[in-house]
Amino acid sequence: MQPDESPLELLRAESEQINPAIILADQLMRREATVLLTVEEVNETENILAIGTQEIEAIESHRKAFQKSPASAVDYVPVGF
Protein backbone atom coordinates (compact mmCIF):
# COMPACT_ATOMS: atom_id res chain seq x y z
CA MET A 1 0.00 0.00 0.00
CA GLN A 2 1.33 3.46 -0.90
CA PRO A 3 1.45 5.70 2.18
CA ASP A 4 -0.47 8.50 0.45
CA GLU A 5 -3.35 6.27 -0.65
CA SER A 6 -6.32 5.65 1.59
CA PRO A 7 -8.00 2.22 1.77
CA LEU A 8 -10.90 3.71 -0.19
CA GLU A 9 -8.64 4.91 -2.99
CA LEU A 10 -6.94 1.55 -3.11
CA LEU A 11 -10.27 -0.22 -3.31
CA ARG A 12 -11.43 2.11 -6.09
CA ALA A 13 -8.28 1.24 -8.04
CA GLU A 14 -9.19 -2.45 -8.05
CA SER A 15 -10.69 -3.84 -11.24
CA GLU A 16 -14.41 -4.56 -11.18
CA GLN A 17 -14.97 -8.21 -11.93
CA ILE A 18 -16.55 -11.33 -10.60
CA ASN A 19 -13.97 -13.64 -9.12
CA PRO A 20 -12.99 -15.85 -12.10
CA ALA A 21 -13.09 -18.93 -9.86
CA ILE A 22 -16.85 -18.43 -9.47
CA ILE A 23 -17.35 -18.43 -13.24
CA LEU A 24 -15.02 -21.39 -13.72
CA ALA A 25 -16.69 -23.36 -10.93
CA ASP A 26 -20.07 -22.83 -12.60
CA GLN A 27 -18.68 -23.98 -15.96
CA LEU A 28 -17.13 -27.07 -14.41
CA MET A 29 -20.27 -27.93 -12.48
CA ARG A 30 -22.29 -27.86 -15.71
CA ARG A 31 -19.77 -30.02 -17.51
CA GLU A 32 -20.23 -33.78 -17.79
CA ALA A 33 -17.94 -35.42 -15.24
CA THR A 34 -17.09 -38.16 -17.74
CA VAL A 35 -15.60 -35.62 -20.15
CA LEU A 36 -12.15 -35.41 -18.63
CA LEU A 37 -10.20 -32.17 -18.52
CA THR A 38 -7.25 -32.01 -20.89
CA VAL A 39 -3.77 -31.13 -19.63
CA GLU A 40 -4.20 -27.62 -21.08
CA GLU A 41 -7.54 -27.21 -19.33
CA VAL A 42 -6.06 -28.34 -16.02
CA ASN A 43 -3.22 -25.82 -16.43
CA GLU A 44 -5.70 -23.09 -17.27
CA THR A 45 -7.81 -24.09 -14.27
CA GLU A 46 -4.80 -23.84 -11.99
CA ASN A 47 -4.02 -20.37 -13.35
CA ILE A 48 -7.56 -19.22 -12.71
CA LEU A 49 -7.47 -20.74 -9.24
CA ALA A 50 -4.32 -18.76 -8.50
CA ILE A 51 -5.95 -15.53 -9.74
CA GLY A 52 -9.14 -16.30 -7.78
CA THR A 53 -7.20 -17.00 -4.60
CA GLN A 54 -5.14 -13.85 -5.08
CA GLU A 55 -8.33 -11.82 -5.42
CA ILE A 56 -9.75 -13.30 -2.22
CA GLU A 57 -6.56 -12.35 -0.40
CA ALA A 58 -6.67 -8.83 -1.88
CA ILE A 59 -10.25 -8.35 -0.70
CA GLU A 60 -9.34 -9.63 2.73
CA SER A 61 -6.47 -7.16 2.96
CA HIS A 62 -8.81 -4.31 1.89
CA ARG A 63 -11.28 -5.36 4.58
CA LYS A 64 -8.58 -5.33 7.23
CA ALA A 65 -7.37 -1.93 6.03
CA PHE A 66 -10.88 -0.52 6.35
CA GLN A 67 -11.25 -1.96 9.83
CA LYS A 68 -8.06 -0.20 10.87
CA SER A 69 -9.10 3.15 9.34
CA PRO A 70 -9.95 5.82 11.92
CA ALA A 71 -13.41 7.41 11.84
CA SER A 72 -13.53 10.82 10.16
CA ALA A 73 -16.14 13.56 10.07
CA VAL A 74 -18.00 14.40 6.85
CA ASP A 75 -19.33 17.80 5.83
CA TYR A 76 -22.83 16.56 5.04
CA VAL A 77 -25.54 14.67 6.85
CA PRO A 78 -26.06 11.19 5.38
CA VAL A 79 -29.56 10.46 4.12
CA GLY A 80 -31.72 9.06 6.90
CA PHE A 81 -30.13 11.07 9.71
Partner 1 sequence: MTGLRLAAAENGKTAFGIGERMARSLEYLRFKAKSHNALHACETVSRIVSEQHKYRLFIEIFPKDWERSTKSLYRTGYFKAYSERTNEFFQLVNDKRFPLLEYWHDDPELELERFAIPPMNFDLCCEEVDFAHLRDSYLAGLMFYFLEDDEIWNYFFEKYGVEKESLPTINTAHPNIWKEKHGANAKPFSDLIRLVDHSTGNPWLDITNCQYPDLFEWDKETVDWLTEAYKAANQYFKNLEQLDRRIEEDAQTFFYELISFWNTGKVGPEGQS
Nearest distance, CB of residue 33 and partner 1, angstroms? 4
Residue 73 binding partner 1, by CB under 8 A = no
Identify the three-state secondary structure at position 51.
Answer: helix
Select 8 or 22, whichever has its Cβ closest to partner 1.
Answer: 22
Residue of 59, 54, 58, 48 whose CA lies nearest to 24: 48
Site for partner 1 in 17-56 (CB under 8 A): 19, 21-22, 24-26, 28-30, 32-34, 36-37, 42, 45-46, 48-49, 52-53, 55-56
